[in-house]
């Protein structure tokens, strides 16, 4: 089947209405989205897997720039060879194309759009502070092309718009969670001693695919002793009795991602393993009391850190990821004696920006 938009046009019209309201409050006549996350929210364009895996050059070239004028439909400015993809994957009908070098030609095309709307002397928002946004040379070229336009950074405005999920987005997030639930269930039945972290990683990718993921997701095993955040997987160190492992994984469904982890005790868990897990569970239950409506996130983060420190634990990021986990359910299961009723990674849903995280401890008999 040919590519189709993931949501009906009415979904995006609701988003435009919210964006137009925020734009009016900020006295902006148009908004330009350079970041892939923001252009996805405005148009639903997913892009290719290769574009997402090589952001250092592909984001700037392949992902379209989206111009949303106030009270008007959006306009896409993108790569000429990808024009059919933009048309098939979105509801946008006004598509302007450029050829390389895009860093020179994007600003000229954007100038033509704004000039056609009579906005050569206006306040225009652009997501300067977002991830994967406009490069410094291209922004300089854009300002040179439009010297009388006042550009305002709207990265925060875009993040706040995206934080409020619509029912359609929540539905996709729930599916992503259920896919990862099924993937973990498959995964724990297939793994065994003698596998490396790299083999475990690719096993998880295969399980995600079988469970219904629409593209490659997240799969990160880190094993103690000698584990650190975000290091490369061990290629030749094989799992053995006594290993304690944190396995973080997330399935992707039409651009929406789940993300949670399990702890794996290889062989019989030690008293230290069990104490670590129980302490983690206590911290989560106690720290969630700090999450009250109306409290600034800074206060919530500080309160959570106090709980972490009171239990003698360490947060390596010192609160910078507070809020990453939007749900919690802790429990213990034995892989060799698995029953669905004992699983603690259920399909509950946290209604935030796209990450749902749970923890459970699995014992893998060897």
- pTM score, whole prediction: 0.85
pLDDT of residue 338: 34
Strands (E), the chain: 30-33, 65-69, 75-79, 94-98, 123-126, 150-153, 215-224, 244-253, 256-257, 260-266, 332-334, 361-364
pLDDT of residue 332: 57
Nearest to 79 by CA among 109, 49, 56: 109
CA count, 13 A, side-chain hemisphere, 78 = 31
Q: CA-to-CA distance for 140 and 282, rounded, in angstroms?
A: 51
pLDDT of residue 2: 60
Q: In the chain, where are the structural domains located?
A: 9-163, 167-364
Structural contact between residues 301 and 321, judged by C-beta atoms closer than 8 angstroms: no
pLDDT of residue 281: 83
Q: Which residues, 6+ apart, have CB-to-CB distance to 348 below 8 Å?
A: 177, 327, 329, 356, 358
pLDDT of residue 54: 67
pLDDT of residue 360: 57
Task: Give the burial string for 307-337 (b: 16+ CB within 10 Å, else e).
Answer: bbeeeeeeeeeebeebbebbbbbbbbbbbee
pLDDT of residue 348: 30
Fold annotation for 9-163: Creatine Amidinohydrolase; Chain A, domain 1 (3.40.350)
User: pLDDT 10s per residue in the chain (366 long)?
Assistant: 567 899 999 999 999 999 999 999 999 999 999 999 999 999 999 887 766 766 667 777 888 999 999 999 999 999 999 999 999 999 999 999 999 998 899 999 999 999 999 999 999 999 999 988 999 999 999 999 999 999 999 999 999 999 889 999 999 998 998 999 899 989 988 888 889 999 999 999 999 999 999 999 999 998 886 656 678 888 888 988 888 888 889 999 999 998 888 888 888 888 888 888 888 888 888 988 988 888 887 888 889 899 999 999 887 777 776 655 444 455 555 544 333 222 232 223 232 223 333 445 555 444
pLDDT of residue 327: 43
pLDDT of residue 333: 54
pLDDT of residue 16: 98
The H or E element containing residue 188 is helix 167-190
Fold annotation for 167-364: Creatine Amidinohydrolase (3.90.230)
Kindly report whether the peptide bond that precedes residue 8 is cis, defined as omega within 30 degrees of 0.
Answer: no
Measure CA 238 to chain center. 30
């Amino acid at each position: 089947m040919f590519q189709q938009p993931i949501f009906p046009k009415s979904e995006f019209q609701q988003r435009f209405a919210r964006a137009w309201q925020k734009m009016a409050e900020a006295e902006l006549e148009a908004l330009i989205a350079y970041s892939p996350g923001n252009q996805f929210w405005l148009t639903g364009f997913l892009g290719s897997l290769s574009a997402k895996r090589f952001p250092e050059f592909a984001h700037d070239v392949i992902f379209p720039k989206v111009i949303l004028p106030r009270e008007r439909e959006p306009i896409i400015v993108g790569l000429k060879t990808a024009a059919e993809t933009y048309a098939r994957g979105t509801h946008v009908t006004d598509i302007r194309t450029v050829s390389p070098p895009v860093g020179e030609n994007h600003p000229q095309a954007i100038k033509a759009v704004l000039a056609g709307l009579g906005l050569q002397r206006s306040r225009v928002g652009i997501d300067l502070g977002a991830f994967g946004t406009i490069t410094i040379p291209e922004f300089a070229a854009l300002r040179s092309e439009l010297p009388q336009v006042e550009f305002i950074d709207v990265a925060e405005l875009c993040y706040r718009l995206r934080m409020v999920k619509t029912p359609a987005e929540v539905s996709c997030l729930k599916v992503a969670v259920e896919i990862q639930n099924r993937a973990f269930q498959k995964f724990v039945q297939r793994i065994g001693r003698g596998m490396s972290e790299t083999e475990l990683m690719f096993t998880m990718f295969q399980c995600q695919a079988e469970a219904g993921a629409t593209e490659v997701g997240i799969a990160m095993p880190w094993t103690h002793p000698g584990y650190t955040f975000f290091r490369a997987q061990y290629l030749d160190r094989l799992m053995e009795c006594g290993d304690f492992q944190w396995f973080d994984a997330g399935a992707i469904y039409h651009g929406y991602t789940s993300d949670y982890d399990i702890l794996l005790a290889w062989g019989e868990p030690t008293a230290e393993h069990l104490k670590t897990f129980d302490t983690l569970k206590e911290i989560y239950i106690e720290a969630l009391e700090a999450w009250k409506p109306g409290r600034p996130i800074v206060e919530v983060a500080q309160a959570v850190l106090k709980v972490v420190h009171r239990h003698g634990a360490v947060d390596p990021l010192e609160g910078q990821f507070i809020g990453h986990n939007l749900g919690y359910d802790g429990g213990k299961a034995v892989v060799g004696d698995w029953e669905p009723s004992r699983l603690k990674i259920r399909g509950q849903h946290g209604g935030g920006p796209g990450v749902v995280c749970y923890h459970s401890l699995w014992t893998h008999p060897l």
